[in-house]
Structure 1
Amino acid sequence: MKTAIILLVLSAISFLPLAISGGLPPLIRLPTKADVPDNAILDTAGNPVVAGAKYYAIPALIGVEGGISVANPDTGNPSACPTDVVINVTLAGHQPPAVGLPLTFYPLKREAEASRSAAATDDDVIISQYPLNVAFDSPDPSDPCAKENVWKLNDETAIVTGGVIGVVKGDLGNWFRIQKNFNGKGYLFNWWPSLCLYCRIGYWHIGTVGGGYQLGINYRDESLYAFEFVKAG
């Protein structure tokens, strides 16, 4: 009896390689996070830029450090809140290095036109050429200047703060878009005078204007400034 049991076990073991090689189903690929859209804006780590998170927009130039910040306009009132949106840059290795302020992006809602009155949810991936509001993130919400943190175009088509998040009827100066740099690495900011996603209406790239570092519409595509996005800690 004992001999019969041993022979039965050995017989079962001898069939194991055959069962493993041909009898089991193929490996199943476990579900992962949704694929990133081809037109998603990516940060320097290769992750999609998302609404509601904080990012530094740094120069997409080798050997240049810095970021986007705000400066006081030349009004003769040094106590006024800084409103001019500028790019601060220094050559790499210079001390102190130029720094910028974190930015947050609020894309236009994708629901029906009647409900487009606020920003989208934090999980929304920022995609190329989609309308969005841009705002500086303030480390001190009690600062009275912290409320003046949303980008807009002024009458001279320079970018300043003082805009609003969401749709304001008849006011397109608060809305910008991001696209991949067509002439190198990084991304460009655009201003597009329409919230229509499919309308073929001309748009303008954002660059430096006025012979300095203020950002604004660059009608001749001169002095364009490309940026990369670094997730703020």
Structure 2
Amino acid sequence: MSMKLIGSLSLVVWSLFMATSCWAQDFPPVLDLEGNPLVSGATYHVVPPAFDISSGLTLVGRNGSCPFYVSQVIETRGQPAPTVPAIPVTFTPRVATDGNIIRETRDFTAQFDGASTCVQSTSWRVGEQDPETGRRYVVVGPVPSSDSTLGYFNIVQNDGQYNIQWCPNCLTGVCPKPRCGSVDFVEEDGKRLMVLDGPAYSFAFIRVSN
């Protein structure tokens, strides 16, 4: 192999290394409470930063029928343990270039690590809109074929706190502008249902397994 060809190959490798390094700096990894990156295949409890007051996420019914809604378990000191336990969540990057790392502002799918009595997927997606408040609920189940981006969420950092939002990235260059919304919760009949379009709620992540 000639020195010229070796030099060309070295330049290509170096360019790819620099491009990857710059890309990684642009999209830092989301960190769990132990300071480790969130990885695909592991399970996490998604909790408020003050997780000793409120606990993780779970599935609940809203109107007595499917689909199930994403909800926050309320756990208060001195009170009996909640009857609905928290369920860990698995995150999966949307695109292969993210590897197995969940990165800030990059899309992922979220799925509960458990089965639903509705006999359907436990993957998160944007669901119905409340006709009075205009806020959208986050439910689980298959994404309607008419809009495959309804199941893609991402995490942003504001003032050192992580917020989850629905604001899918455009991968084709020709995409309708999404109606982005930050995750928050609303109280309904003693339940805390996950919704979009309100103040941004802060989250932390506790690794459970893998």
2:140 to 161, 174, 180: 161
- Structure 2 gaps of 5+ residues are 1-20, 130-135
Shift in Å at residue 216 of structure 1? 1.2
| 4+ residue segments displaced more than 4 Å | 197-202
Residue 9 of structure 2: aligned partner: none
- Displacement of 1:95 in angstroms is 3.2
**What is the distance in 1 between the residues matched to 2:76 and 2:96?**
41
Report if the CA contact (8 A) 2:106-2:169 is conserved.
Answer: no
Residues 1:201 and 1:96: Cα distance change in structure 2 (over 3 Å): closer
1:206 aligns with 2:183: yes
Is the 2:59–2:70 contact (alpha carbons within 8 Å) kept by the matching residues of 1? yes
User: Alignment partner for residue 192 of structure 1, among 153, 160, 167?
Assistant: 167
Residues 197/183 of structure 1: CA separation in 2 closer, same or farther (3 Å cut)? farther
Matched residue pairs, number? 174
Cα separation, 1, equivalents of 2:202 and 2:92: 20
Q: What is the aligned partner in structure 2 of residue 108 from structure 1?
A: 94
Provide the rounded CA distance (Å) in 2 between the counterparts of 1:63 and 1:110. Answer: 36
Higher strand share: 2
Aligned-pair CA distance for 1:134? 0.7
Secondary structure of 2:96 counterpart = coil
> How many angstroms apart in 2 are the aligned matches of 1:101 and 1:62?
14
3-state DSSP of counterpart to 1:178: strand
Q: Select the residue among 95, 109, 122 that pairs with 1:149.
A: 122
1-structure distance, mates of 2:155, 2:146: 22
Q: Distance in 2 between matches of 1:106 and 1:54?
A: 11
Structure 1 residue 84 corresponds to structure 2 residue 76: no
Identity of aligned residues (%): 22
CA RMSD in angstroms comes to: 3.2
Residues in 1 aligned to 2:117 and 2:85: alpha-carbon distance in whole angstroms: 22
Judge conservation of contact 1:129–1:178 (CA < 8 Å) in 2.
Answer: yes
- Within 1, Cα distance between the matches of 2:172 and 2:72? 29
